[in-house]
Chain A
Amino acid sequence: MTPFEDDLRRELRSLTDNPPPMNSLHEPVIRRARTARIRTIAALSIAATALVATAAFAWPTPGAGPAPIPAAPSASPSALAYAHQLYVHCGIRYANFEGRWWQAVHLGEVPMPGQITNYLVGTMTLVDADHATFRSEHPALSADFIPFVGEPPPCQ
Chain B
Amino acid sequence: MGGNDRDFSDFVTGAGPALLKSARLLTGDWHLGEDLVQTALVQVYRRWSRHEEWDSPLAYTRATMINTFCTWRRRRWHREVATATPVPPASPDTADRVAASDALARALDRLDRRQRAVIVLRYFDELSVAETAAVLRCPPGTVTSIASRALEKLRREATLELEDRR
Instruction: Using CB atoms and an 8 Å cutoff, list the residues of chain A in contact with chain B.
Output: 4-5, 7-9, 11-16, 18-20, 22, 24-26, 28-30, 32-33, 36-37
Query: B interface, by DSSP: helix, strand, loop or mixed?
Result: helix
Instruction: Using CB atoms and an 8 Å cutoff, list the residues of chain B in contact with chain A.
Output: 5, 8-9, 12-13, 16-17, 20-21, 24-25, 30, 34, 37-38, 41-42, 45-46, 84-85, 97, 100-101, 104-105, 119-120, 123-124, 151, 154-155
Whole-angstrom CA separation of A30 from B97 in the bound complex: 40
Contact between A15 and B104, CB atoms less than 8 A apart: yes
Known: A9-B123, A28-B38. 4 other contacts (CB 8 A): A8-B104, A15-B25, A16-B124, A29-B12
Whole-angstrom CA separation of A40 from B123 in the bound complex: 38
Contact between B30 and A20, CB atoms less than 8 A apart: yes
Whole-angstrom CA separation of A28 from B8 in the bound complex: 12
Shortest C-beta distance, A119 to chain B (Å), equals: 74
Contact between B12 and A26, CB atoms less than 8 A apart: yes
Contact between B12 and A25, CB atoms less than 8 A apart: yes
Given contacts A30-B5, A33-B45, contact A8 B38 (CB under 8 A): no
Which residues of B sit under 8 angstroms from A19, Cβ to Cβ? 17, 20-21, 24, 30
Which residues of A sit under 8 angstroms from B155, Cβ to Cβ? 4
Picked from B9, B20, B119, the residue with its CB within 8 Å of the CB of A8 is B119
Whole-angstrom CA separation of A10 from B165 in the bound complex: 21
Nearest to A23 among chain B residues (CB) is B34
Given contacts A19-B17, A33-B46, contact A14 B101 (CB under 8 A): yes
